Amino acid sequence: MDKLQIVGGKRLNGDIAISGAKNAALPILCAGLLTSGDLDLTNVPRLHDVRTMLRLLEQTGLKVTQDDEHVVLNGANITSLEAPYELVKTMRASILVLGPMLARFGEARVSLPGGCAIGSRPVDQHIKGLRAMGADITIEGGYIHAKCAKLQGTRIHTDMITVTGTENLLMAAVLAEGETILENAAREPEVVDLANMLVAMGAKIDGIGTDRLVIQGVDALHGTRHAVISDRIEAATFLCAVAATGGDIRITNTRTDIFDVALDKLREMGVQLTVEGDTIRARMDGRPQPVSFRTTEYPGFPTDMQAQFMAVDTIARGPSRVTETIFENRFMHVQELNRLGASISTEGNTAFIEGVERLVGAPVMATDLRASASLVIAGLAAEGTTIVDRIYHLDRGYDRMEAKLSAVGADIVRIK
């Protein structure tokens, strides 16, 4: 099992190019099931989750041609309408094949998903919406089995804002008969990216970027060419790294308009940000100022950045408070940060951080994707050597993080 060895205390200087967004790429790949034409995708990140999704799609009969960050999908010869447990168990996003399969072929058998242990993240809203569209759905033996001769447009109001639920129902609705209205829809940039690509494939969608999507079903979609948006979470993670270590870095190939709330918090921490087009220059000297925040749905503070900002807060010049409202079990990084000398206590869904002057390297263990990133940030800032174990979590969502950090001066190596 791979580990990362980090010798902390090095300032970061140089350029880091941001990869395509994992949370946009995964639903976009699943959209390949919606058409018999070629879906030509660029800026696809090289991640473990992407490789898993491509294996899952290939076993359905979807043809996959890949050259680095360029992927071409062709769904002309789908032979299997099942997503087996062996592939689905490691990645919750596998549920995103359910809507496209059911909409185009009238049937799908998908294993209940797995993924990070940060909360229950149920799929009941997906099932509720598809049933409202006329699907007959049973759950037995750990599988969701859905059938419907033709999905029917309807009004769907989800009980909560759900990103994957919105994406699944959106992909189902584009081939349904009549009009579907999705209310309480997620507004994340990754949902917008999927919707824009579906429109390029011939879908009719109004309200993109709002919490009310109106979809007029069409008989068929065609192929298209699409570039996956850059990863706002990866960009913000590297900006947190320079906030913790000090230095002067440029983040390139990014979208500065889709994570304003994170940039505002970085400015509060004392990071000097200069934004020009798709580039952000970040300069930092001295210890950061503490920032408190509360995670919430987009356009609020993203839960996927909570752990990374908490890592910076551990060495801030004073106390801060972090409240997590999205996932009930997303403070597992707290005890590992405390192993490095942080002073964090929790009460319910709130963490209280007392900034300390320095962290000290130690062996730590990653528990989920974003927790892994927080431990890397803390290790970069700590004195001495930090060993981060179980980095397979990190590889699920970050494209060669250690290589990108090494290129800007970090002392970080992967140990096989």
- Under 8 Å between Cβ of 234 and 19: yes
What's the DSSP call for residue 140?
E
By CB atoms closer than 10 A (0-12, 13-18, 19+), residue 84 is middle
Query: What CA–CA distance (Å, rounded) separates 256 from 272?
Result: 15
- Under 8 Å between Cβ of 317 and 296: no
- Under 8 Å between Cβ of 65 and 75: no
Q: Which element (helix H / strand E) includes 293? A: strand 293-294
The arrangement of strands across the sheet holding 63-67 comes to 63-67, 70-74, 38-42, 224-227
| 113 prior amide bond cis, ω within 30 | no
Query: What CA–CA distance (Å, rounded) separates 311 from 309?
Result: 5
* Known catalytic membership, residue 30: no
Distances (CA, A) of 106 to 33, 73, 98, 152, 178: 12, 21, 10, 12, 16
Query: What CA–CA distance (Å, rounded) separates 84 from 143?
Result: 9
Q: Which of 30, 116, 148, 240 is catalytic?
A: 116
- Under 8 Å between Cβ of 75 and 34: yes
DSSP state string for 350-394: EEEEE--S--B--EEE--SHHHHHHHHHHHHHSBSEEEEE-THHH
- Under 8 Å between Cβ of 315 and 357: yes
Q: Which residues are catalytically annotated?
A: 116
